[in-house]
Chains A and B, each alone.
Chain A
């Protein structure tokens, strides 16, 4: 086993992120071109939608051919292409070092988007799952700002999402869609897609204003009392929306226009990761950590704790609101029941599974819980025994989550990986 692992390690030792992206691109192109015939040859009913997890759990007889398919289409091409293109990619990345970093980042993101786009084009299910996963990343990151970086235990995120979702939906439905609640559109629907970012911004701002109601009590209290205040806030928002007949009450609000396509969601997610990553490394982000570790000491060291708290809450709520707005437009239906305890448990699970105080951790947590949730779907209700058990195990063996307290190093991620010097 060990020599085998060594070979793998050596093969990947000089592979930069870019060649992995090349490999993934080749893999999705391969699936697009050869997926159907290959599935037929291997005796699969159709192309496995989610890396074969669902197929394997549903029909255990198909496990060997599904594994073979995944190996032939994904694992094989990715490792071969990544290894082969490593030297070219490294040389390219060397050249890119002469340009601003942004340029290289954009190339990487372009590649990533191309992969996701091609992968999700195969079925509507993949597209929906991808969008929801990207939104989950935004929500998890924004909750991590409060629960991880600032060390509070806030339970109000579903409430912020609901505020954002409803504010955005009301704007778009009122302005650009024909609806039984609001009547015909006021502005020509052609303008809609251009106004959508603005609507999302307004949704985020509404959520941020809501956050003030939690931030102000948080000046005087921490820990459990803040948890209960934020929980009460969540119930109040939910109950308020249920009682507002203008937006449909408990029946919910539908007929949102179809603005949240993959590029939009992807761009907002990238913006969210980028801005939050910069925020937590800024002076204000360090102030958050100081408030978490010792509020009195932070105060003595001239950290304005009140300002820090209010900014952090509003900032996190803004992104939760944006995510809520996108969520409403991806599903094109929203009702207050969505934003309850269930959602809270899901988001908290993502944050604590991935890891506190870490952008990496949030991304890993959101993606793995979403994918796990979908992959274990054939197990039906037992899914909700396996996922909590997994989370309990993670908590027992790594109480702060899988990848906690780790900086998100963009420069390291996109830089070339050269041969170590003495190893020529």
Chain B
């Protein structure tokens, strides 16, 4: 039981990374019916921007420009990087997706893949092939809860990501912009006729998705303080799997499937040798999709489907 709870906490931590990234895929899908294949690399860019901001703030503090406690630096890092990364998302939308809105869907998938490669390579060219280590902003405290060891980082990661998801949910449900997004997801032909610009909404969706990915990148940097330019590939594709598994376009589904994917991976690695992790995890996903081809919350063939 203790063993199970221990892994449950690890799984929650991994799941929150996946869920935060999968949200971006799912939101973009619900508006444009396209998957943003550069999203994994936006996660990577977010982590690097977070690295830059955090290092800068730490350096300024140590030079005595202002005295900030570490937790405030972390909060500021998350907020500033989310803001900056949202512009990356908007640029990706403007360059790679807006010109292709009426093109076959596969073409947009290709531009997304290629923008991803450009982001990776651009990063490699700018910063070189060395791995960077994220500044340690939190001292690790380990709490012993009846044999289950919990670190403060893990609690922080899970809480922050849940808070972000909650905020996003409130934004989509309550605000006027969120209403516009939901309307656009419902019908992107008629809603623009009502005076809601699809370009604005699409750019905003990309921005929000990228901000979420940036938050995931920084949280990842806090937990595993090594950054490399290709870290987005693995996470991006796995979160893409989660987004599909949850049902395309379903934000709730993406969140749940992200956590589910985390659970599957951690528990497979717990029971079997860890080299078998991908094999078994993907086999389970293949099985789920064979019996439930539309994911958990996805609609079956819809009339809106552009193929």
- Determine which of B100, B248, B290 lies in contact with A224 in the assembled complex, contact meaning CB atoms within 8 Å: B248
Could you tell me if B293 and A225 are in contact, using CB atoms closer than 8 angstroms?
yes
Contacts of B124 in A (CB 8 A): 381
Contacts of B293 in A (CB 8 A): 217, 220-221, 225
- Who on chain B is nearest to A404 by CB? B104
Q: How far is the CA of A391 from the CA of B37 in the complex (A)?
A: 15
Contacts of B289 in A (CB 8 A): 217, 221, 225, 228-229, 232
- Determine which of A235, A352, A388 lies in contact with B117 in the assembled complex, contact meaning CB atoms within 8 Å: A388
Q: How far is the CA of A239 from the CA of B286 in the complex (A)?
A: 14
Flag whether B226 is at the interface (Cβ < 8 A): no
Contact status of A352 and B110, CB under 8 A, knowing A151-B307, A225-B295, A399-B103: yes
Q: How far is the CA of A240 from the CA of B280 in the complex (A)?
A: 9
Could you tell me if B109 and A236 are in contact, using CB atoms closer than 8 angstroms?
no
Task: Give residues 372-424 of A contacting B (CB, 8 Å).
Answer: 381-382, 384-385, 388-389, 391-392, 395-396, 399-400
Nearest Cβ distance between residue A335 and chain B, in whole angstroms?
15
Q: How far is the CA of A384 from the CA of B116 in the complex (A)?
A: 11
Contacts of A116 in B (CB 8 A): none
Contacts of B35 in A (CB 8 A): 224
Nearest Cβ distance between residue B9 and chain A, in whole angstroms?
26
Could you tell me if A349 and B114 are in contact, using CB atoms closer than 8 angstroms?
yes
Task: Give residues 279-307 of B contacting A (CB, 8 Å).
Answer: 279, 282-283, 285-286, 289-290, 293-295, 305, 307
Contacts of A235 in B (CB 8 A): 278-279, 282
Contacts of A233 in B (CB 8 A): 282, 286
Grouping DSSP codes into helix (H, G, I), strand (E, B) and loop, the B interface class, with mixed when no group exceeds half, is helix
Q: How far is the CA of A384 from the CA of B148 in the complex (A)?
A: 46
- Who on chain B is nearest to A225 by CB? B293
- Who on chain B is nearest to A213 by CB? B286
Flag whether A141 is at the interface (Cβ < 8 A): no
Flag whether B276 is at the interface (Cβ < 8 A): yes
Q: How far is the CA of A395 from the CA of B111 in the complex (A)?
A: 7
Could you tell me if A345 and B109 are in contact, using CB atoms closer than 8 angstroms?
no
Q: How far is the CA of A223 from the CA of B283 in the complex (A)?
A: 20
Flag whether A328 is at the interface (Cβ < 8 A): no
Contacts of B275 in A (CB 8 A): 239, 242-243
Nearest Cβ distance between residue A176 and chain B, in whole angstroms?
30
Contacts of B106 in A (CB 8 A): 147, 153, 352, 356
Q: How many residues of B contact A (CB 8 A)?
A: 46
Contact status of A236 and B233, CB under 8 A, knowing A243-B276, A352-B107, A388-B114: no
Flag whether A231 is at the interface (Cβ < 8 A): yes
Could you tell me if B115 and A388 are in contact, using CB atoms closer than 8 angstroms?
yes
- Who on chain A is nearest to B110 by CB? A352
Nearest Cβ distance between residue A376 and chain B, in whole angstroms?
12
Contact status of A341 and B237, CB under 8 A, knowing A228-B289, A382-B125, A392-B111: yes
Nearest Cβ distance between residue A309 and chain B, in whole angstroms?
14
Flag whether A348 is at the interface (Cβ < 8 A): yes
Could you tell me if B110 and A391 are in contact, using CB atoms closer than 8 angstroms?
yes
Flag whether B157 is at the interface (Cβ < 8 A): no
Could you tell me if B121 and A399 are in contact, using CB atoms closer than 8 angstroms?
no
Flag whether B21 is at the interface (Cβ < 8 A): no
- Determine which of A229, A231, A382, A392 lies in contact with B95 in the assembled complex, contact meaning CB atoms within 8 Å: A392
Contacts of B286 in A (CB 8 A): 213, 217, 229, 232-233, 236
Q: How far is the CA of A220 from the CA of B115 in the complex (A)?
A: 31
Flag whether B99 is at the interface (Cβ < 8 A): yes
Q: How far is the CA of A181 from the CA of B124 in the complex (A)?
A: 38
Could you tell me if B121 and A223 are in contact, using CB atoms closer than 8 angstroms?
no
Could you tell me if A348 and B307 are in contact, using CB atoms closer than 8 angstroms?
no
Flag whether A91 is at the interface (Cβ < 8 A): no
Task: Give residues 290-330 of A contacting B (CB, 8 Å).
Answer: none
Flag whether B22 is at the interface (Cβ < 8 A): no
Q: How far is the CA of A238 from the CA of B279 in the complex (A)?
A: 8
Contacts of A95 in B (CB 8 A): none
Contact status of A341 and B118, CB under 8 A, knowing A224-B248, A243-B275, A392-B96: no
Flag whether B196 is at the interface (Cβ < 8 A): no
Q: How far is the CA of A224 from the CA of B109 in the complex (A)?
A: 11
- Determine which of A345, A349, A389, A395 lies in contact with B103 in the assembled complex, contact meaning CB atoms within 8 Å: A395
Nearest Cβ distance between residue A165 and chain B, in whole angstroms?
18
Nearest Cβ distance between residue A365 and chain B, in whole angstroms?
12
Flag whether A251 is at the interface (Cβ < 8 A): no
Could you tell me if B307 and A222 are in contact, using CB atoms closer than 8 angstroms?
yes
Q: How far is the CA of A228 from the CA of B109 in the complex (A)?
A: 13
Point out which of B233, B240, B245, B289 has the most chain A C-beta atoms below 10 A from its C-beta: B289
Flag whether B241 is at the interface (Cβ < 8 A): yes
Q: How far is the CA of A382 from the CA of B126 in the complex (A)?
A: 11
Contact status of A395 and B244, CB under 8 A, knowing A236-B283, A388-B114: no
Nearest Cβ distance between residue A229 and chain B, in whole angstroms?
6
Flag whether B122 is at the interface (Cβ < 8 A): yes
Chain A interface residues toward B at CB < 8 A: 147, 151, 153, 213, 216-217, 220-225, 228-229, 231-233, 235-236, 238-240, 242-243, 341, 345, 348-349, 352, 356, 381-382, 384-385, 388-389, 391-392, 395-396, 399-400
A-B contact pairs, 15 of them (CB 8 A): A222-B307, A224-B35, A225-B244, A228-B240, A228-B244, A228-B289, A236-B283, A239-B276, A341-B233, A348-B113, A352-B110, A382-B125, A384-B118, A392-B96, A396-B99
User: 6 tightest A-B contacts by CB?
Assistant: A399-B103, A388-B114, A221-B293, A239-B279, A384-B121, A239-B278
12 more A-B residue pairs beyond the given contacts A222-B307, A233-B286, A236-B286, with a C-beta to C-beta distance below 8 A: A220-B293, A224-B35, A224-B244, A225-B248, A236-B283, A352-B106, A381-B124, A384-B117, A384-B120, A385-B122, A395-B110, A395-B114
